[in-house]
Structure 1
Amino acid sequence: MTDVPARRIALLGGGFSTDDDGLLDDWMLSHARGSRPRVCFVPTAAGDAPGYAEKFLDAFGARDCEPSVLSLFRRESGDAALRDHLLAQDVVYVGGGNTANLLAVWRVHGVDRLLREAYGRGTLLCGISAGANCWAEGSHTDSFGPLTHLPDGLGLLPGSVCPHYDSEPGRRDSYRAAVAGGALPAGWAVEDGVGALFTDGRLDEAVTRVPGARLFRVRAGQGGEPVERALECRRLAV
């Protein structure tokens, strides 16, 4: 009987693009399969910005892993090579930017289907901001300018996601209102500095590199008001 691999998603409230200590990325890598994991960075949400990719390669080239970057705006490989590359990865790390554009470009190139297949095979999926939003059924985003709800995503993580819960004005109130009003399903609000690991859609672990930063579960109450519950996060040591 073949063992079914654990399906894991990590939401990151930071990482190489924002933090100097590397704690969240090290924590994420500790959950990757293999002693020298293959890590593919996907900067689609930022339009494949070269500086973003270079920063990833600098950060992960210094770690005990095999880093690579998937560019879709300057794509050079055919469908078979794209599939082979993504399915060979132990980690797919999605960068921040525009969530709506990210999802649209992925669908044009069939990356959404490949990521579903990789997830089912045990590849750890993770990301920051738009790279956290994309895995859920819906998210809170500024993809269209003003903060709003986006009832769209890959749906691999049940519910919704809101990044930057504590650091961007209006995020908390807007997300709470979207969930309370039914525009988004109940979900997870991630403060900057927090990491949350889910296995088969269930929360396994929550950590933080910032004292006092928290992960929140947000749902609609019986009276139509938002109900917010703070979850304990283990402090990562420097």
Structure 2
Amino acid sequence: MDKHIVALGGGGWMMGEQQSELDQYALRLTGKSDPKVCYIPTATGDAEEAIDRFYQSKLSRRLSHFPLFKANLDWRTHLQEQDVIYVGGGNTRSMLAVWKAWGIDKLLQDCYESGIILCGMSAGAICWFDYGITDSDPEKYSVIEGLSFVQGLASAHYPGSDEKAELFSQFANHHINMPCYGISDYSALHFVNGRYHKTINSQTGAQVTIKNVDKTNI
């Protein structure tokens, strides 16, 4: 069974795009007209505003969310019943710390191995990689460890010319055998079985920067 990850640099329902191609692409991978889609809002601290926006997105008629700060009784089994798991943006470092404490990292690994499509924007994009560039520390950008479902480093909201881009280039130059992906707003990368498969854009000018990857494989 193939394993899928769709990593959005920015855009989709969380950034106000209606019927975004980025979201629709992930939904189409299920082959279902109304797939079960579960939103994990940990990176926002389970903020009600973000949860409400998810339900207003109308991605499917079978939407749910996965709270950790007010966990449901069936929280361990709920994720395993989904077609798509969508991880939202927010504080990546805090999200990963909470996941580790609750064992969500291992639960998501099981979901991934079983063929459930993993998708997310910003924090929800970079978390799947070995490393991600984050602004979780308000004083500076930093590189943190992710879940390692996909090899390499990822940076979301990638503009190509700022402190984040400089850190991205430094990392890529010092880790020449590690793939590095800079994903702009309104762009997403699709990985199949841990390997780059396709770039998806929802607006003109969206782009990705890919370093240390054999161009014959992309």
- Relative to the length of structure 1, the TM-score reads 0.83
Unpaired segments of 5 or more residues in structure 2?
none
- In structure 1, C-alpha distance between the alignment counterparts of 2:26 and 2:16, rounded to whole Å: 14
- In structure 2, C-alpha distance between the alignment counterparts of 1:100 and 1:64, rounded to whole Å: 29
Paired-residue identity, %: 32
| Cα contact 2:37–2:60 (8 A) shared by 1 | no
Q: Is 1:16 the counterpart of 2:9 in the alignment?
A: no
Q: Specify the SS of the correspondent of 2:147.
A: coil
| Cα contact 1:138–1:185 (8 A) shared by 2 | no
Q: Which has the higher contact order (CA 8 A, sep 6+)?
A: 2
CA change 1:129–1:167 in 2 (3 A) is farther
Structure 1 vs Structure 2 CA RMSD: 2.3
- In structure 2, C-alpha distance between the alignment counterparts of 1:48 and 1:178, rounded to whole Å: 32
Larger radius of gyration: 1
CA change 1:125–1:187 in 2 (3 A) is same
Instruction: Tell me which protein shows more helix as a share of its residues.
Output: 2
Deviation at 1:74, TM superposition (A): 1.5
- In structure 2, C-alpha distance between the alignment counterparts of 1:97 and 1:203, rounded to whole Å: 24
Unpaired segments of 5 or more residues in structure 1?
220-226, 233-238
Give deviations 1:163-185, integer Å, cap 9, x for gaps. 01118842212211122234994
Q: Specify the SS of the correspondent of 1:11.
A: strand
- In structure 2, C-alpha distance between the alignment counterparts of 1:195 and 1:7, rounded to whole Å: 16
Matches within 5 A, 1:201-216: 201-216=194-209
- Relative to the length of structure 2, the TM-score reads 0.90
Give deviations 1:186-233, integer Å, cap 9, x for gaps. 3211011102111001122211112122122123xxxxxxx9x8x99x
- In structure 2, C-alpha distance between the alignment counterparts of 1:168 and 1:70, rounded to whole Å: 36
What's 1:148 paired with?
Answer: 142
CA change 1:149–1:183 in 2 (3 A) is farther
Give deviations 1:142-181, integer Å, cap 9, x for gaps. 112211111x111001111110111884221221112223
Displacement over 4 Å in runs of 4+? none
Q: Specify the SS of the correspondent of 1:93.
A: strand
CA change 1:102–1:33 in 2 (3 A) is farther
| Counterpart code for 2:18 | D
Q: How many residues align?
A: 214
- In structure 1, C-alpha distance between the alignment counterparts of 2:76 and 2:84, rounded to whole Å: 14
| Cα contact 1:149–1:183 (8 A) shared by 2 | no
